[in-house]
Amino acid sequence: MTVATCRLTSVTLPEGPFPHVSVEAELRFDASLPYAVCLAFPPVDDGGEELRWFFARELLNEGRHAPAGYGDVTVAPGPRGQVLVTLRSREGRALISVPAEAVTAFLVDSFALVPAGREPEHLDVDAALARLLP
């Protein structure tokens, strides 16, 4: 297995209009992209597309314990056993609250697949260049 996923059922948007309503989300890690994690949200409607944010696995790991990151994605420990992920784009900003125990379990799985410091061993530079070059 080269992929780790964690379906999140108690993700909230604490600054949204319904801060206590849970939304679906999923954390994903693919060993072929060893430095990144993906936070994915299902389509809002039948014809829509999944919303995916990719950011550094280490950012998610560090942000569990202390505020980390700058720019489009930041991660920080939150109240009551939560991890707060802030996503920014030209359209605005969203604060996502994720249970810390789910984040920790997901990271344990991802580091079992690709241990910290071993990421370069999982990069396929030739395949990445082939995707970029015509």
Number of domains into which the chain is organized: 1
Quickly count: other Cβ atoms within 10 Å of residue 9's Cβ.
Answer: 11
Give how far the C-alpha of residue 11 lies from the chain's centroid of Cα atoms, to the nearest Å: 12
For 11-58, the DSSP string reads EB-TTSSSTT--EEEEEEEETTSTTEEEEEE--SSTT---EEEEEEHH
Q: What whole-number percentage of the chain has pLDDT above 90?
A: 49
What is the rounded CA–CA span in Å between residue 18 and residue 20? 6
- Asked if 25 contacts 40 with a C-beta cutoff of 8 angstroms, the reply is yes
Tell whether the model's pLDDT for residue 18 goes beyond 70.
yes
Q: Token pair of 11, please?
A: 């993700």
25: nearest Cα among 37, 38, 8: 8
Q: Token pair of 8, please?
A: 């999140």
CATH number for 76: 2.30.31.20
Domain region containing 104 = 3-132
What is the rounded CA–CA span in Å between residue 113 and residue 100? 20
Mean pLDDT of 34-46: 88
Q: Token pair of 69, please?
A: 């990151």
Q: Which of 29-33, 42-46, 82-86, 97-101 has the lowest mean pLDDT?
A: 42-46
- Asked if 109 contacts 6 with a C-beta cutoff of 8 angstroms, the reply is yes
Tens-digit pLDDT profile for residues 79-122 = 989 999 999 989 889 899 999 999 999 999 999 988 887 777 77
Interacting residues of 83 by C-beta distance below 8 A, sequence separation 6+: 60, 63, 64, 75, 76, 77, 97, 98, 99, 100, 103
pTM: 0.85
